[in-house]
């Protein structure tokens, strides 16, 4: 039996992503994100990060555009896209 990523490498609470693949979140742009549309995005992939701020590949619910954003730019939502 092959070890899973979780069993092969223990993770502490600081290394766990807050949002899961498929989850719908709100993107809240910062000062450097003036051209990025706000609104609903679906988490497509958890990205590796060299900093404490986790990265996600997200897809905009309306225009379908994908981008990589930091966890601090995302806020939880109560609903999921259909």
Going along the chain from its start, the domains and CATH numbers come out as 17-76 (2.30.30.140)
Give the pLDDT mean for 74-82.
72
Residue 66, pLDDT score = 96
Residue 79, pLDDT score = 56
| Percent of the chain predicted with pLDDT > 70 | 76
Distance of CA 41 to the CA centre of its chain: 9
Higher pLDDT, 8 or 50: 50
Those residues with Cβ within 8 angstroms of residue 58's Cβ, 6 or more apart along the chain or in another chain = 25, 27, 41, 42, 43, 44, 66, 67, 68, 69, 74
| pLDDT tens-place string over residues 25-59 | 999 988 888 888 888 999 999 999 888 899 999 99
- Residue 10 pLDDT > 50: no
Question: What global pTM score does this model have?
Answer: 0.73
């Amino acid at each position: 039996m092959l070890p899973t990523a979780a069993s092969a490498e223990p993770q502490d609470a600081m290394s766990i992503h807050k949002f899961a693949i498929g989850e719908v979140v709100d993107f809240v742009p910062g000062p450097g994100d003036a051209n990025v549309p706000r609104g609903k995005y679906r988490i497509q992939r958890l990205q590796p990060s060299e900093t404490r701020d986790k990265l996600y590949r997200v897809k905009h619910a309306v225009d379908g555009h994908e981008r990589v954003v930091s966890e601090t730019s995302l806020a939880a939502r109560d609903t999921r896209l259909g």
